[in-house]
Amino acid sequence: MKPLQIKPGEKVRLRDFDPEDTSAAPGNKEKTNSASDRLSERLGELQELLYAEHRHKVLIIVQGMDTSGKDGTVRHVMRGVSPQGLRVASFKKPTELELDHDYLWRIHAQVPANGEIVIFNRSHYEDVLVVRVHELVPEKVWRKRYAQINEFERMLAECDTTILKFFLHISKDEQKKRFQERIDDPDKRWKISVDDFKERQFWDDYTEAYEDTLQRCSTDEAPWFVIPSNKKWFRNLAVSHIITETLESLKMKFPPPTVDVKKLKWK
């Protein structure tokens, strides 16, 4: 999965990443789903280890265009993980209280504690994406935020937080197809809003904003990965693989028992 990782300072053009690409898969869809199942089981084991050791923190950030599959990715990848050590935080339009603080205030309140995995479904990056595209603040304000975000994430990393950031990359045609599927399926129509279609008009603007974000904010401490996501089965495999491989690299160990097990006696 290394080609999916954005190197620090690397020039990013999303047209260079094929959203249909599945070349890193271990085979066809069936073989890939089988591999995803094994990764899900392993991820569950690693999460238990993370929770027990209680030393590391894991922050996973998921971003993407509308219909890119943020919810579906979280649901599929984390299906084998115990809810005890997992939390999902979603960031919508800021409240009045949140707007009275700096833009990272509400974000910092949701970062993981020791032994915890936290997934941001959308994140502080909205403040260099939506805010930029819709000109909610002057350019001189949002341009400073790239460096501020990098410093924020560096501080988290220095406090034993492992950070992984995934951009779920779909094509504009695929988005149209998924919107139409929602319209055609009575059980999915509730997901449709007028804003979805309004935002689609800004596709090119969002693409440019994402390219700058990926280029400016992929660091050694907090790398961005561009995940080809037209094929959901490959998207799920890629994200699962990267998370599992990263957790394994932490070399975690179960802590020793707090009691002398040899002295325990059944009655």
Q: pLDDT per residue over 119-155, tens digit each?
A: 999 999 999 999 999 999 999 999 999 999 999 999 9
* 29 confidence band (pLDDT: 50, 70, 90): confident
- Retrieve residue 216's tokens: 């400016």
Please state, in angstroms and rounded to a whole number, the distance separating the CA atoms of residues 59 and 243: 10
Please state, in angstroms and rounded to a whole number, the distance separating the CA atoms of residues 188 and 266: 54
Q: What number is the average pLDDT over the span 18-24? A: 93
Name the strand (E) or helix (H) holding 164.
Answer: strand 161-169
* pLDDT > 80? residue 200: yes
pLDDT for 195 equals 86
Pairing status of strand 161-169 against strand 224-228:
parallel
Name the strand (E) or helix (H) holding 82.
Answer: none
CA 235 remoteness from chain centre: 12
* pLDDT > 90? residue 30: no
pLDDT for 135 equals 96
Q: What number is the average pLDDT over the span 202-214? A: 97
pTM over 0.85? The answer is yes
Ranking 108-122, 170-184, 190-204 by mean pLDDT, the lowest is 190-204
Q: Which domains does the chain have, with CATH numbers?
A: 2-252 (3.40.50.300)
Q: Which residues of 137-171 are buried (b: 16+ CB within 10 A; e: fewer)?
A: eeeeebeebbeebbebbeebbeeebbbbbbbbbbb
CA 111 remoteness from chain centre: 13
Distances (CA, A) of 107 to 66, 119, 127, 152: 21, 12, 11, 10
Tell me the pLDDT of the chain averaged across its residues: 93
